Amino acid sequence: MEIEKIIKVLTANSRFFHAFSEEEMMDFLRRCTSRSHKDGEVIFREDSNGTELFIIVSGSVRVKKDGRIIDVVRSGECFGEMGALSGEKRSATMEANGDVVLL
């Protein structure tokens, strides 16, 4: 996905990025890597270790706890922050809900 499109999606769908200037967004995106997942692919599992924080650029992700869907996270939202910030184990399984692109 083109950088300009990513910036447009993130600033339109995420309050966090509204305060970023275009230069700050470009700097932030240069530090990120992109990942794609197909429907049903597990991004990470409940109780696993992890330090990554993910931002959904396109698509959505199912949040599953004890095998049940408890929420859906959508484009512009982030997840995985507990593991990234505190080193805690993952509190839920995150699974692609259709095709999804993550940073």
Residue-wise pLDDT for 40-66, tens only, equals 999 999 999 988 989 998 999 999 999
Domains detected in the chain: 3-102 (2.60.120.10)
Residues of the chain with pLDDT under 50: none
Instruction: State the alpha helices, DSSP H only, in the chain.
Output: 3-13, 15-18, 22-30, 81-86
68 forms beta bridges with: 65
Q: How high is the pLDDT of residue 1? A: 58
* Beta bridge pairs of residue 35: 102
Question: What is the reported pLDDT for 71?
Answer: 98
Quick one: pLDDT at residue 98? Answer: 97
